Structure 1
């Protein structure tokens, strides 16, 4: 099979490296590989199988002429991605996933500490006034949010060297096969993290519901515990989700269109407004109106509404472009 791959690479070496040529090469290699293994299963020797495959698929110039592609040499060339660049991108996404996941977890932990200190001060367990307890909680929240913001900014800077991937690239057959194997090996880990993350989110309110059946203050502690559990769930979903996304991006070699970039920009802009607003509503309703036992619902509601917006926006964009 290596002989066939080398032959195909030599045949396409003199042709323009356009997206059309890349697709033709990948389709042709898949057909040649299928025919090769079919011949091997029929008892053909290595040399016989290679010879038959090359004789059947070897006339690439004729195939290009029949399909009418590759004539426009002015089409933008797509550069090949090296193995070092691919490995570096996966490593960078892994680091940014760690930073973003940990940063979001810190924000949730800070909110849990705010609830905890405020409740303890109200009960007199801290031996300080309610105002001082609330201030202590706000300080704890601020101390954790500041490094979280730094992590978000730093993670964005770590991905700057790979922004050129949005303009499109090509993968060699060997590199694509290697990445597909890595993605397949990672799939069980991602599935497990997804199950654990979603499961923790679903189970997180149980302590608060149980506590509310006995005492209102106990339910407040349950809200703090719920946020800690959600922090762990979010970390799992973000960290392993970023790793999975790295393989998805690398194995999707199509150029990112202007419409897709515009869609990402709009959804990102809305997210930048909606989620901070939801956090403000959560804190105001808790600090001013002491509704910790119920105001946590603002986050799942925001998530559902934001998901609906993203889906509707995507459908409308597709409809307008069709």
Structure 2
């Protein structure tokens, strides 16, 4: 095996050090190793297996001419990612994803608690003990505290990932590391699929509680709405947390949207992030104004799911327009 690797290194020594030649070298090495192991299983000796592999894969002149590799000149080989950096990135990404998921959950739990408190003060056991306005003030205070804590989580999660910004400039993975990442990614896929399925089911089922509660009692529909928000919050947690873990594998393996970090994709993310940073605080202001000024705590919660839907629609329209 060492002979094959050394031979391959000598073949590529004179070629320009680009990502294209690196990927070609890794693919050839994988094929040569596979052929070597097949020959060993057939009973070939070490020297026989190595000789056959080199004779079959040794000539890469046609590939060089086809890919026009000989015309390169600059030493543009991207840095190899070390195993410790790779695994520390996956751990940091997982932690950051957990914090973001919890932060988003808190932002959705706040309105749910506010609705419950106001309803309890109007119809529940807090009636006569706590006025509606007082319950609303307490609920808003809790909401603001949760949002502040969530913002802190968002900022901290961003700081965790700052040290890995250099990966955006590009990197390569050693063959053994890529193989292990692919195995881990495949092992994680059933968990990711289960979390995605469960999250979708929670989103689909959640409105049923509002309908059922409204049929039982119009006065306490807010309870059903609060539970709906909690179920959606749990679904969002599943989407973000497990989606972030999946994204870490996708990014390191350069799959899906990370196959090529195109300027268009970066611009799309920048625009969507900028819009979301404006729209969500605006939605919160609408929620608070409609509650305190117009006393519509029973229905104003819809501003949050509607905002999420509108952002999704905008992202789809943006992609369609850019595709033309």
Aligned to 1:276: 281
Would the alpha carbon gap of residues 124 and 173 (structure 1) be closer, same or farther in structure 2, given more than 3 Å must change? closer
* CA shift digits 1:105-141 (9 cap, x unpaired): 1111111111111111222632012111111101111
TM-score, structure 2 as length reference: 0.88
Q: Secondary structure at the match of 1:94?
A: helix
Structure 1: gaps spanning 5 or more residues:
none
Aligned to 2:115: 115
Q: 242, 247, 256: which is aligned to 1:240?
A: 242
* CA shift digits 1:165-213 (9 cap, x unpaired): 1111111111100100111111111111111111112112222211100
How far apart, in 2, do the equivalents of 1:13 and 1:80 lie? 17
Shift of 1:277: 2.6
Count of aligned pairs between the two proteins: 318
How far apart, in 2, do the equivalents of 1:222 and 1:66 lie? 64
Shift of 1:14: 5.6
User: Which of 249-258 and 143-152 deviates more?
Assistant: 249-258
Would the alpha carbon gap of residues 204 and 64 (structure 1) be closer, same or farther in structure 2, given more than 3 Å must change? same
Q: Does the aligned pair in 2 maintain the 1:168–1:255 contact within 8 Å?
A: no
Aligned to 2:92: 92
Q: Secondary structure at the match of 1:52?
A: helix
TM-score, structure 1 as length reference: 0.88
Q: 159, 166, 169: which is aligned to 1:167?
A: 169
Aligned to 1:79: 79
RMSD value, Cα: 2.5
Q: Does the aligned pair in 1 maintain the 2:115–2:298 contact within 8 Å?
A: no
Q: Does the aligned pair in 1 maintain the 2:123–2:220 contact within 8 Å?
A: no
Aligned to 2:315: 310
Aligned to 1:198: 200
User: Which of 32-41 and 207-216 deviates more?
Assistant: 32-41
How far apart, in 1, do the equivalents of 2:207 and 2:3 lie? 60
How far apart, in 1, do the equivalents of 2:250 and 2:261 lie? 13
Note if 1:45 corresponds to 2:44. yes
> Residues 1-322 of structure 1 correspond to what in structure 2 (within 5 A)?
4-5=4-5, 7-9=7-9, 11-12=11-12, 15-33=15-33, 35-36=35-36, 43=42, 45=44, 47=46, 48-60=48-60, 63-65=63-65, 67-74=67-74, 76-123=76-123, 125-126=125-126, 127-252=129-254, 256-319=261-324
Q: Secondary structure at the match of 2:139?
A: helix
Would the alpha carbon gap of residues 66 and 130 (structure 1) be closer, same or farther in structure 2, given more than 3 Å must change? closer
Shift of 1:13: 5.2
Shift of 1:155: 0.5
Structure 2: gaps spanning 5 or more residues:
none
Shift of 1:164: 1.1
Shift of 1:5: 4.5
Shift of 1:229: 1.7
